[in-house]
Amino acid sequence: MDGILNTTTNTVHKHRDRKATATTACGATRHVADDRLDRIDVDRAVSDRQASKCGRCFSDGGGY
């Protein structure tokens, strides 16, 4: 599943509607600069970068 990683908070969000831009399902990153957002697979973000899942985007998440 595609996700958006906020590199400032190290939190991964669900990518919204497979759009080219880094928009998230919860909208928490709409004011974050594009250079702080990486498009990445959610499982990879959690395993490789030890990212937290957004609590608004994922039922098993804890961030935000």
Give whole-number Cα distances, 7 to 24, 50, 51, 55, in Å: 14, 11, 9, 16
Please report which residue ranges of 19-64 form alpha helices under DSSP H: 42-48
**What pLDDT, on the 0 to 100 scale, is given for residue 48?**
97
**What pLDDT, on the 0 to 100 scale, is given for residue 61?**
80
pLDDT in tens, the chain (64 residues): 889 999 999 999 998 776 667 788 898 998 999 999 999 999 999 999 999 999 999 998 875 5
**What pLDDT, on the 0 to 100 scale, is given for residue 25?**
83
Predicted TM-score (pTM) of this structure? 0.86
**What pLDDT, on the 0 to 100 scale, is given for residue 3?**
93
CB atoms within 10 A of CB 52: 17
